C-alpha cells in the first residue's frame, strides 16, 4: 500500500494483525487489522484498503460520542486538576496574540464542546461548526456566537476563517495532504490552524484504534503541515498528556518546506506492539483475582478487559462525571470506594501508570492498583 503522506510503498508491522483492536469511541473491535510504516517518510499508518474503509464506515455508523459520561466531554487529568480537553487547548491558544474579533471554525465539532468553551471565553467571535453528520445541527446552532453549521465533507464549507480547529480529526483522515490543502484555502491571510492528535509514542494503545489511519509523531505532524503550506508557530507534546498539538499559520512567501528527519520508528513501533501483547498477557494472569477492577473507562480499559477475557467486578475512574455510572455492564467507582482486598489493573502507558498507582495505593498502604510490565 502507498504511504498516505508521501505515496512511497509502506512496510507492514508483523505483530499487529494478531491483536484485538478498539474503536475511537471505546468499543472492542476484532483482530485482523493492518499497521504499516513508510520507509521513506517514517509515517506510521493503517493501510487504507477496502477492509479499512468498510470498517471505518461501520464504526461511524454506530458512533457513540462520550457515552461513558452521559455526553459530557472527557476530562484530562493534569497536575492542575481535571480539565476538559477544549479548555486546555484554549488556555494555550488564547495566550497568543490574536485579533479581537476572529472567525473561528471547528472542523469535526462533534457535540460542540470546543465551540461552547470558545463562546464563553470569546463571546465576540463569530463561530462556525462543521461535521460529517447532521444530527447535532440544532444543538450547535444554539451555542451563542455560532453563525453556521456545515454538514458533510469539507468541500461543503464556505467562507474564510481566521482560525480553524482540528481536534482529534486528522488521525481519521485517509488523505491528510489533500484535506489540509483544502483547509488552507479556507483561511484568511495570516490565518491559523490548531491541531490536536493522539501521540502513540506516549500511549501505545492509540495504535490499536481501528478507525485511526494516521499515528503521528512530532516530526511527522510538522512535516505534513509544512508540506501543506503551513509554518509551525508552536507545538509538540505535553499540552494534553498522550496527545500532540500544533499551531500553524499559512506560510507567507513561497518557502520550501523544512526537512525533518526521524529515525528508529520501526523499532519503536515493534516495541510498542510487543508491549501491548505483554500487557494483555499480564492481565490474563490477574484474571483469577477477586474482586477485580480496571482503572479507566475508555480505550485502554475496554481493550484490556476484552482482549484478556476479563470479567471485572468494577471499573475505577477519577472523573466524577463517570462515577456511579455503569461501564461494560459493571459499576464505575471512585478510587476511594475501592475495597482494600481488591486488585485493580491500571492499563496506562508505563510511567503514567506508575504515577497513578503510587498515588492511589497510598491510602491503602499496599499495592491494590497494579501496573503493567515495563516497556
Ligand atoms: Zn511516506
What's the gap in Å between 68 CA and the centre of ligand 1?
36
User: Separation of 228 CA from ligand 1 center, angstroms?
Assistant: 14
b/e map 23-58, b = 16+ CB within 10 Å: bbbbbbbeeebbbbbbeebbbbbbbbeeebeebbee
Q: Residues with Cβ < 8 Å from 221, sequence gap 6 or more?
A: 170, 195, 197, 235, 244, 246
Cβ neighbours around 360 below 10 Å, total: 20
Containing 249, the helix (H) or strand (E) segment is strand 243-250
Q: How far is the CA of 362 from the centre of ligand 1 (A)?
A: 46
Residue 168 near residue 139, CB atoms below 8 Å: no
pLDDT band at 375 (very low <50, low <70, confident <90, very high): confident
Tell me how far the alpha carbon of residue 13 lies from the centroid of ligand 1, in angstroms: 15
Give the residue, 343 or 96, on which the prediction is more confident. Answer: 343
Instruction: Please report the pLDDT score of residue 68 as a whole number.
Output: 54
CB atoms within 10 A of CB 298: 21
Triad 17, 19, 23: Cα angle to 5°: 100
pLDDT at residue 254 in the model: 61
265-370 has the same fold as 67-250: yes
Confidence at residue 327, expressed as pLDDT on a 0 to 100 scale: 94
Say which residues have a Cβ less than 8 Å from residue 204's Cβ, sequence separation at least 6: 272, 273, 275, 276, 349
Would the pLDDT of 26 be above 60? Answer: yes
Residue 262's pLDDT is what? 77
How much of the chain, in percent, has pLDDT values that exceed 70?
A: 94
Rounded to the nearest integer, the mean pLDDT of the chain is 92
For residue 261, how far is its CA from the centre of ligand 1 (angstroms)? 12
Ligand 1: distance of its center to the CA of 4 in Å?
7
Task: Tell how far the Cα of 195 is from the centroid of ligand 1, in angstroms.
Answer: 20
pLDDT at position 259 is 59
Quick one: pLDDT at residue 253?
Answer: 66
193 CA from centroid of ligand 1 (Å): 23
pLDDT digit string, tens, across residues 50-78: 999 999 999 988 887 655 555 566 677 66
What's the confidence (pLDDT) of residue 263? 76
Question: How many angstroms is it from 207 CA to the middle of ligand 1?
Answer: 17
Q: Does domain 265-370 have CATH number 1.10.10?
A: no
In this structure, are residues 272 and 207 in contact, taking their beta carbons and an 8 Å threshold?
yes
Q: Which residues contact 97 (CB under 8 A, 6 or more apart)?
A: none
Cβ atoms of residues 279 and 347 within 8 Å: yes
214 CA to centre of ligand 1 in angstroms: 11
Q: 44 CA distance to ligand 1 centroid (A)?
A: 9
CA distances from 93 to 96, 204, 240, 247 (A): 6, 27, 13, 8
Calpha distance 225→227 (Å, rounded): 5
pTM to 2 decimals?
Answer: 0.93
Q: How far, in Å, from the CA of 317 to the mean position of ligand 1?
A: 38
Q: How many angstroms does the Cα of residue 3 sit away from the middle of ligand 1?
A: 5
Distance 63 CA to ligand 1 centre (A): 30
Residue 297 to residue 351: CA distance in whole angstroms: 19
Helix (H), strand (E) at residue 248: strand 243-250
Distance (Å, whole) CA 37 – CA 40: 9
Task: Give the span between the Cα atoms of 20 and 32, in whole angstroms.
Answer: 7
User: Residue 182: which pLDDT band, with cuts at 50, 70 and 90?
Assistant: very high
| 67-250 topology per CATH | Rossmann fold (3.40.50)
H helix intervals, 228-336: 265-285, 299-307
**How far does the centroid of ligand 1 lie from the alpha carbon of residue 131, in Å?**
28
- Distance from residue 220's CA to the centre of ligand 1 (Å): 9
pLDDT of residue 79: 62
pLDDT in tens, 242-299: 999 999 999 876 655 555 667 789 999 999 999 999 999 999 999 999 999 999 999 9
Buried residues in 147-185 as b, exposed as e (16+ CB within 10 A): eebbbeebeebeeebbbbbbbbbbbbbbebeebbeebbe
Distance 223 CA to ligand 1 centre (A): 11
What is the distance in A from the centroid of ligand 1 to the CA of 41?
4
Give the mean pLDDT of 194-202: 95
Q: Ligand 1 center to residue 5 CA distance, Å?
A: 5
With beta carbons less than 8 A apart as the criterion, state whether 232 and 226 touch. yes
| More confidently predicted of 327 and 262 | 327
Hey, which bits of 85-229 come out as E strands? 103-107, 126-131, 146-151, 161-167, 187-198, 214-215
d(CA 62, CA 255) in angstroms, rounded, equals 44
Could you report the per-residue pLDDT of 207-239, keeping only the tens digit for each? 999 999 999 999 999 999 999 999 999 999 888
**So where are the chain's domains?**
11-61, 67-250, 265-370
Cα 212-209-82 angle, rounded to 5 deg: 100
Give the distance (Å) from ligand 1 centre to CA of residue 171: 15
CA–centroid distance, 32 to ligand 1, in Å, is 23
Query: Residue 153 C-alpha to ligand 1 middle, in angstroms?
Result: 25
The pLDDT of 344-356, averaged and rounded, is 93
Residue 108: the pLDDT is 93
Ligand 1 centre to CA of 320 (Å) is 42
Please write the tens of the pLDDT for every residue from 35-48: 999 999 999 999 99
Query: How many angstroms is it from 256 CA to the middle of ligand 1?
Result: 18
Amino acid at each position: 500500500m502507498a504511504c498516505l503522506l508521501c505515496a512511497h510503498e509502506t512496510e507492514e508491522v508483523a505483530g499487529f494483525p494478531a491483536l484485538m483492536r478498539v474503536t475511537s469511541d471505546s468499543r472492542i473491535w476484532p483482530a485482523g487489522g493492518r499497521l504499516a510504516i513508510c520507509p521513506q517518510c517514517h509515517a506510521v499508518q493503517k493501510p487504507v484498503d477496502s477492509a479499512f474503509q468498510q470498517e471505518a464506515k461501520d464504526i461511524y455508523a454506530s458512533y457513540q460520542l462520550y457515552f461513558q459520561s452521559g455526553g459530557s466531554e472527557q476530562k484530562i487529568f493534569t497536575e492542575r486538576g481535571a480539565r476538559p480537553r477544549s479548555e486546555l487547548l484554549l488556555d494555550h491558544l488564547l495566550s497568543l496574540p490574536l485579533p479581537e474579533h476572529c472567525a473561528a471554525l471547528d472542523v469535526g465539532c462533534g457535540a460542540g464542546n470546543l465551540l461552547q468553551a470558545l463562546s464563553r471565553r470569546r463571546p465576540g467571535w463569530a463561530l462556525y461548526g462543521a461535521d460529517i453528520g447532521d444530527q447535532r445541527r440544532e444543538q450547535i446552532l444554539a451555542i451563542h456566537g455560532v453563525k453556521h453549521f456545515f454538514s458533510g465533507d469539507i468541500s461543503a464549507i464556505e467562507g474564510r476563517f481566521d482560525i480553524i480547529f482540528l481536534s482529534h480529526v486528522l488521525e481519521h483522515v485517509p488523505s491528510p495532504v489533500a484535506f489540509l490543502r483544502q483547509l488552507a484555502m479556507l483561511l484568511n491571510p495570516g490565518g491559523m490552524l490548531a491541531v490536536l492528535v493522539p501521540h502513540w509514542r506516549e500511549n501505545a494503545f492509540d495504535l490499536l484504534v481501528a478507525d485511526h489511519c494516521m499515528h503521528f509523531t512530532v516530526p511527522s505532524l510538522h512535516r505534513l503541515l509544512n508540506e501543506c503550506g503551513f509554518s509551525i508557530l508552536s507545538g509538540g507534546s505535553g499540552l494534553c498528556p498522550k496527545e500532540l498539538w500544533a499551531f500553524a499559520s499559512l506560510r507567507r512567501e513561497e518557502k520550501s518546506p523544512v526537512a525533518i528527519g526521524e529515525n528508529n520508528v520501526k523499532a519503536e513501533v515493534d516495541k510498542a506492539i510487543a508491549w501491548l501483547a505483554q500487557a494483555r498477557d499480564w492481565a490474563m494472569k490477574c484474571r483469577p483475582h477477586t474482586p477485580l477492577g480496571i482503572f479507566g473507562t475508555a480505550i485502554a480499559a475496554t481493550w484490556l478487559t476484552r482482549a484478556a477475557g476479563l470479567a471485572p467486578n468494577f471499573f475505577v475512574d477519577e472523573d466524577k462525571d463517570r462515577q456511579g455510572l455503569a461501564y461494560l455492564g459493571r459499576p464505575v467507582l471512585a478510587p476511594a470506594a475501592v475495597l482494600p482486598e481488591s486488585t485493580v489493573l491500571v492499563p496506562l502507558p508505563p510511567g503514567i501508570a506508575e504515577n497513578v498507582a503510587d498515588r492511589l495505593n497510598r491510602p491503602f498502604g499496599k499495592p491494590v492498583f497494579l501496573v503493567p510490565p515495563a516497556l
